[in-house]
């Protein structure tokens, strides 16, 4: 009787799971809406006073998405003023939604993946898992790895969709 051979294990394919790159970053929102008069108008004096008494420690070490969810005209300096309070406390300050900030941080983490371990290798980007991965992550990892890999695939080592093959 012949021994069972795991051809996938012997193939030298590297599987890259993007789920760990989503972990460990807390993203929170700072919304200017509660600082507006009648949720429509920003009064400078009231806004400055409210910022001075706001609990900024709640943003310590977190990535903060700054936005105004009200349909109001907010002067640029209002965002700048919020940033002056957030910058010394928060891990980062970003203009936009928490979803946009999360995507940007994920892309930055993917772009920090060391390329040397993937040079001239066959790589499968894991496609199934318990953690939903944003489409932007797959785009970012493809753009990051393509210059160095021998081939790039999507899915699982036993069932892949070819994405790129070096010629």
Answer for the pair 73, 103: CB distance below 8 angstroms, yes or no: no
Are residues 128 and 158 in contact, defined by beta-carbon separation less than 8 angstroms?
no
Q: Where are the domains of the chain?
A: 7-23+107-165, 27-90
- DSSP string computed for 49-62: HHHHHS-GGGGTTS
**pLDDT more than 70, % of the chain:** 93
3-state secondary structure of 24: coil
For the stretch 15-65, pLDDT in tens is 999 988 887 778 999 999 999 988 888 999 999 999 999 999 999 999 999
pLDDT at 82 exceeding the cut of 90: yes
Q: What is the DSSP string of 124-165?
A: EEE---SS---HHHHHHHHHHHTTT-SEEEEEETTEEEEEEE
What pLDDT does residue 129 have?
77
What would the pLDDT profile of 55-69 be if each residue is shown by its tens digit?
999 999 999 999 999
Q: Pick the more confident residue, 7 or 40.
A: 40
- Nearest alpha carbon to residue 135 among 127, 146, 147, 145: 127
Instruction: Indicate the average pLDDT of the chain.
Output: 89
75, 83, 145 from 91: Cα distances, Å: 24, 12, 27
Q: Which residue has the higher pLDDT, 133 or 114?
A: 114
pTM, entire model: 0.80
């Amino acid at each position: 009787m012949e021994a069972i051979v795991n051809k996938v294990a012997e193939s030298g394919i590297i599987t890259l799971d993007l789920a760990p790159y989503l972990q460990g970053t807390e993203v929170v929102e700072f919304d200017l809406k509660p600082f507006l008069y009648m949720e429509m108008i920003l009064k400078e004096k009231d806004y400055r006073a409210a910022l001075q008494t706001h609990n900024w420690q709640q943003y310590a070490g977190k990535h903060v998405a700054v936005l105004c969810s009200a349909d109001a005209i907010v002067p640029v300096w209002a965002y700048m003023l919020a940033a002056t309070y957030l910058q010394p406390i928060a891990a980062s300050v970003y203009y936009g939604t928490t979803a946009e900030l999360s995507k940007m941080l994920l892309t930055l983490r993917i772009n920090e993946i060391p390329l040397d371990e993937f040079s001239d290798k066959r790589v499968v980007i894991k496609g199934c898992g318990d953690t939903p991965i944003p489409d932007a992550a797959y785009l970012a990892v493809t753009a990051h790895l393509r210059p160095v890999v021998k081939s790039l695939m999507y899915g699982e080592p036993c069932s892949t969709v070819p994405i790129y093959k070096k010629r």
